[in-house]
Amino acid sequence: MNFSIPEPTPPTIIEPSLFSTTDIEIDALLGAPKARSSFNVDGSGLAVAVLDTGLRVTHKCFAGRVADARNFTSDDGGNPAVVTDRNGHGTNVTGLIAAGTNDERRGIAPGAMVVPLKVLPAPTLAPIVNALIWINENHARLGISVANLSLGTPGINLSDDASARAQFPQLAAILKELNSKRVAVVVAAGNDYKSFEKEGMSLPAIFREVISVGAVYDASVGPRHYQSGAIAFSTHADQITPFTQRLSKEASPDCYMDVLSAGASATSAGATDDDATSVQDGTSQAAPTVAGVVLLMQQHYKRLTGGLQPVSLLQDVLRSTSTWIVDGDDEEDNVINTHRKFPRVNAFESLVALDKSVKLAALHKVNR
């Protein structure tokens, strides 16, 4: 089974002088600045493992915050210590989570440590599974509380039933193990919607133990044409991208997509030099913004309780505090819309709800 980057468009490299001084689009849409300031969170004390094409570890966006790195591919002679990002995808994704610069590349959780795990290109499932096993063995040592997988298999899945788990037993087992240890695995839902024009997600996004993420636009960026044939004739904030795979609770009560998030067009770190910037579209870009929100939630929960919350609690809070988006109410695209509602993550509201639930639980315990 060939795993690949669910990337509908190649990266665009822009000059630093062409972007604004603050991330006013993704940050503002998701309520991240208010979440960070109101709850004094930035991901500090936690680490995110990014399973991708590697990372430009010398980039200024990650200065002093690369906790460890491992190569699980045959690139660079299979040297386990070398995670050179020749594609640029991994650097862009990592920046969306945790870039520490005070400009438009700033990540949602700019205080978090990063652990790049190079798993792409992946002609088989082995690099991804081996990287997840490595996280299971090293998460306590490095403080890894989130793993981001902006990757998947081409295809459409409605369930992670017994046959699906039997087909990928190692993957299913390690995802279940990480879930039990409260390591949140965030996965891109996939970019093949135009190929099927019906509900479903790629794998491993379909597994219920992970937090699956689809993409919306963060602003008006004009018409967008994608290699898959998907077209957005116009764009605006909170418009579902025509490429994003989607799966509603109505269609799949156990394995539905958790949330939508900003994934087009996403400005982040670039891999060409130590101050490079890139802009990419994809559920690949939406997933890391949610990984960043999860880090903020985990930091606050850990401050209040001393530990990490169950992944199921993260999923419930993310979904229940989201802004609801109707697929097809104002999308101008060339795909068949489902006309169902999907939740788009709201960082501030998620932190508010999490804070209330923890404090109410503590009060109930005291009063028993």
Residue 277 three-state SS: strand
Sites in the chain below the pLDDT cut of 70 = 1-24, 364, 366-368
Q: What's residue 123's pLDDT?
A: 87
Contacts of 235 (CB under 8 A, 6+ apart): 217, 219, 220, 221, 222, 223, 224, 264
Question: How far apart are the C-alpha atoms of 240 and 330, rounded to whole Å?
Answer: 9
Q: Which helix (H) or strand (E) holds 120?
A: none
User: For 294-309, what is each residue's pLDDT tens digit?
Assistant: 999 999 999 999 999 9
Nearest to 162 by CA among 255, 251, 250, 257: 255
- Write the pLDDT tens digit of every residue in 9-31: 443 433 333 333 334 589 999 99
> What is the dihedral sign for C-alpha 64, 68, 73, 78?
positive
- Within 8 A by CB and 6+ apart from 261, the residues are 30, 213, 214, 215, 216, 286, 287, 289, 290, 293, 344, 345
Residues paired with residue 205 on neighbouring β-strands, in sequence order: none
296 close to 109: Cβ distance less than 8 angstroms: yes
Rounded CA-CA distance 106/97 in Å is 8
* Residue 5, pLDDT score: 54
Q: What is the full DSSP assignment across 212-259?
A: EEEEEESS----EE-TTS-EESS--TTPBPTT-----TTT-TTT---E
Phi-psi region of 113 (alpha: psi -120 to 50; beta: other; left: phi over 0): beta
* Segments in 267-346 forming alpha helices (H): 283-305, 311-320
The 3 state secondary structure assigned to 55-96 is CCCCCHHHCCCECCCEECCCHHHHCCCCCCCCCCHHHHHHHH
- CA separation for the pair 218, 280 (Å, rounded): 12
Structure tokens at 89: 């995808």
Q: What is the pTM of this model?
A: 0.94
Backbone angles phi, psi at 189, to 5 degrees: -70, -25
Could you tell me if 110 and 148 are in contact, meaning their C-beta atoms sit under 8 angstroms apart? no
Confidence (pLDDT) at 11: 37
Phi, psi of 129 (to 5 degrees): -65, -45
Give the count of beta carbons closer than 10 Å to the beta carbon of residue 64.
6
Could you give phi then psi for residue 178, rounded to 5 degrees?
Answer: -65, -40
Question: Among 32, 292, 36, 258, which Cα is nearest to 146's?
Answer: 292
Residue type, 102: N
